[in-house]
Structure 1
Amino acid sequence: VLLEKNRGGTKIVNTGIRLVPDQNKTYDPESITKPMWVMAVRELMREMNINPKRVKNLVSSLNGTNVSVKQITTMDMPEDELFSSMTFEARKHIPMDGSDAVIDFQVFGPNPKEVDKIDIGLVACTKKVSNAHLELLKEIGFTPGIIDADPIALSNAFGNSKEFPEEGAVVLLDIGSVSSSLVVWGRKDQFFTRDIPIGGYHFISSLSEKLDMDYVSAEDKMMKDGINSFQSSIDNDLNDISVAEKNVFDNLIEDVRRTLRYYAKTTNQSFFTKIMISGGGSSTQGLKEMIEQKLSLSTELFNPFQSLAGFENIDISNPGQYAISTGLAVRGFLDE
């Protein structure tokens, strides 16, 4: 996503997407190599008429278990002591690979419930993960800039497009290809994130296994029939789905339910105003309605472009799949 800022606000200039691997080929996340990523991004840049070497304000992100995003409450202390404390804290939340932890944090302010304590937003990964990401960007031809995390990018996209409610927390769910980013946040409530290891790839691979068909055929069926793909006879009545054999969609929703229960138990906040779903998997036919019914929460498709000038000039069938990339572009302006 390419944005520019002018007197009238933020304008969307260009968007692009590139499949890895190419369309009509079996997708296996374990077989995607670094050269494949490099080639795909270079081809995308050519299609968008962008020279990577001339990009001056690049914002990219890490996702999944490679990065940890936490809100932490700790004693108020000098910044040098705080850095040491956060480095120690980070080691509890990221899979260590023999390299040092790389951290960044922001002090949110005094904790409203505990005297002499502060709330901090902590982002952490290992140096090995960070270096691999930087090397990938350089090989493509970019000059690395800000490195963000998917949950923060998702939050920035929402904050740029919509207002957080005065009371209660919003649930953001970005359904990616191999995992989903879940964010719970409100004006007065704790910032919480979780990576759910279910994404669009699992939708299709589980269908392929259940119906004993190849991946590409399963993908075509999923695009056509959505959540009804798992039924032997297509029936649009959601009540019939609820008594059917549990499938990958049920597993995703159950993970969301467990996460919200955990959030409510640990924060004493159980008022969730709505769920906003995004990512490529969010366009799966019937999934929005299924989430809404099973969780009894108002569920909407999130359009990150709706507050940006110029969106009406861009033809995009599923703007929700650009939520995280829009949040990254917005972050570039926030740090100016």
Structure 2
Amino acid sequence: MEFHPCFAILNRAFLYMAIRIPNLSKLASIEVSSFFKKTPPKTQGERKVGLNIGHGAITACEVSFGAQHQLILEQCARKEIVKDKPIASQLKDFLHESKFQSKQVNMSLKGHGVVVRFLSFPKMNRSDFASSIQFEAEKYLPFSLSEVVLDYQIIEDIAVPPKTDLNTMKVILVAARKTEIDKLVNLAQEIGFKLNVIDVDVFAYVNAFEHSNPEVKNQSVALIDFGAGDTTLAVVDKGALVFSRDIAFGGDDLTEMIHRKLNVPVEEALKIQLDQNLSQPEHKIAVEEGLSRLFQELRSSLNFYYNQNQTATPVETIYVSGGLSQLGVLLELLEKQIETPIKKWDPTSQFTLGEKVSRETLDPLTPYLPVCIGLAIRSK
């Protein structure tokens, strides 16, 4: 097991930690980061590419640091992944076509190769906890400790009802499999880019949200990213990530359910799914039935969060992104089901647009950009 205690900025709204892996030769210059590292590039003109390899598409953004702490969005691109074609060759073609200037890339982990756990421990001083977590961690992980890089962050001290003293502390525990880290390192080398930072999808996502929505830093909000292969739910309370879950249902699953329900080709099912009006009753019924499972999972996840955190501040607003967030019927039904206001958000709202980026070409991409934006604004 590689183990690295973390450090945090005192302001809870800007928690972060970063771990290095000095004992793996391939990773000697790679920073594997975890929570909420906010610092953007500091050198004027410095550029970074945030590269997100999703279930169905590759998305990337190039960001530079301008004068007066200005963040400039220099380039954005997205391309569907072709099944049964090596991802490295697809990435080479994509990056060549997109003409990114920087060769510095930040990437992230998601799925079975990384585990995020939100835990509570008896309050103790940080040095004692750093020693004990090495022995406690294995019971919370599906991997052997020898297989992973492990890190943690103490996110707050909380009072456990009915006690009034602060006797418990919340901890986020993260374990990333070394084999998954190796895959990213090898992939970056194969496509001719220098891998600067390895992050975790949900942390990059939250980083992008907080950068784009500074007005909600003192609120409790939920974030939902509707991906092609899955849906990510995260709860952020006063700037700290306090809960996350990946739900195994995405846009591809909805398309498949419509395809089966209506007995139409997959291409036709996708068109029905994207129809904002759903004027034919049978189409609306098929879409609503397809979404019902997802809504049930989202409700159950939020209820679990509240049951596990009985002093938690109720979520005030749910912010959505991803392909399915473009479905008007989904947002309308979700708001009714969860009884919480739903809003879309734009991860590029706080950026100055570079010469190669226009609002006209950018707007259709914005639902898909949060993770790569969150990666691109990271520095070591």
Deviations 1:169-195 (A, max 9, x none): 200001111011110111187610101
Moved more, 183-192 or 80-89: 80-89
Aligned residue pairs, count:
309
Alpha-carbon distance in 1 for matches of 2:259, 2:144: 34
Contact 1:175 1:200 (8 Å CA) reproduced: yes
Quote the offset at 1:308 in angstroms.
1.1
| Matching residue of 1:16 | 77
Residues 264, 116 of structure 1: CA spacing in aligned structure 2 closer, same or farther, 3 A cutoff?
Answer: closer
Question: TM-score, with normalisation over the residues of structure 2?
Answer: 0.72
The DSSP-based 3-state class of the residue aligned with 1:145 is strand
Alignment-derived partner of residue 358 in structure 2:
313
- Equivalent-residue separation in structure 2 for 1:89 and 1:13 (angstroms): 41
Name the % identity.
21
Q: Which residue of 2 aligns with 1:238?
A: none
Instruction: Please report the RMSD computed on the Cα atoms of aligned residues, expressed in angstroms.
Output: 3.0
Query: In structure 2, do the counterparts of structure 1 residues 229 and 89 end up closer, same or farther at CA, with 3 Å as the change threshold?
Result: farther
- Alpha carbons 1:73, 1:111 under 8 Å: kept: no
The secondary structure found in structure 1 opposite 2:195 is coil
Residue 270 of structure 1, CA deviation = 5.5
**What residue is the counterpart of 2:124 in the other structure?**
76
Report if aligned partners of 2:234, 2:241 keep a CA contact under 8 Å in 1: no
Asked if 1:199 is matched to 2:250, the reply is: yes
Give the TM-score, by structure 1 length.
0.81
Alpha-carbon spacing, 1:81–1:298, altered in 2? closer, same or farther (3 Å):
closer
> What pairs up with 1:26-41 in 2 under 5 angstroms?
32=83, 36-41=86-91
Q: Which runs of 5+ in 2 are unaligned?
A: 1-60
Q: Distance in 1 between matches of 2:184 and 2:241?
A: 29
Q: CA deviation at 1:115?
A: 4.0
Alignment partner for residue 206 of structure 2, among 138, 155, 170?
155
Give the structure with the larger strand fraction. Answer: 2
Matches within 5 A, 1:1-336: 1-8=61-68, 9-21=70-82, 32=83, 36-50=86-100, 55-56=103-104, 58-74=105-121, 75-77=123-125, 79=127, 82=130, 85=133, 88-89=136-137, 92-93=140-141, 95-96=142-143, 100-111=147-158, 115=166, 117-163=168-214, 165=216, 168-187=219-238, 191-225=242-276, 228=278, 231-232=281-282, 247-268=289-310, 269=312, 271-310=314-353, 313-314=358-359, 315-316=361-362, 317-332=364-379, 335=380
The answer to whether the 8 Å contact 2:234/2:245 transfers is yes
The separation in 1 between residues aligned to 2:145 and 2:218, in whole angstroms, is 43
CA distance in 2, matches of 1:14, 1:323: 14
Q: What is the CA–CA distance in structure 1 between the aligned matches of 2:241 and 2:202, rounded to whole Å?
A: 14
Structure 1 segments unaligned to the other structure (5+ residues)? 22-31, 235-240
User: 1:273-308: per-residue Cα shift (whole Å, max 9, x none)?
Assistant: 111011222223422222112211110112101111
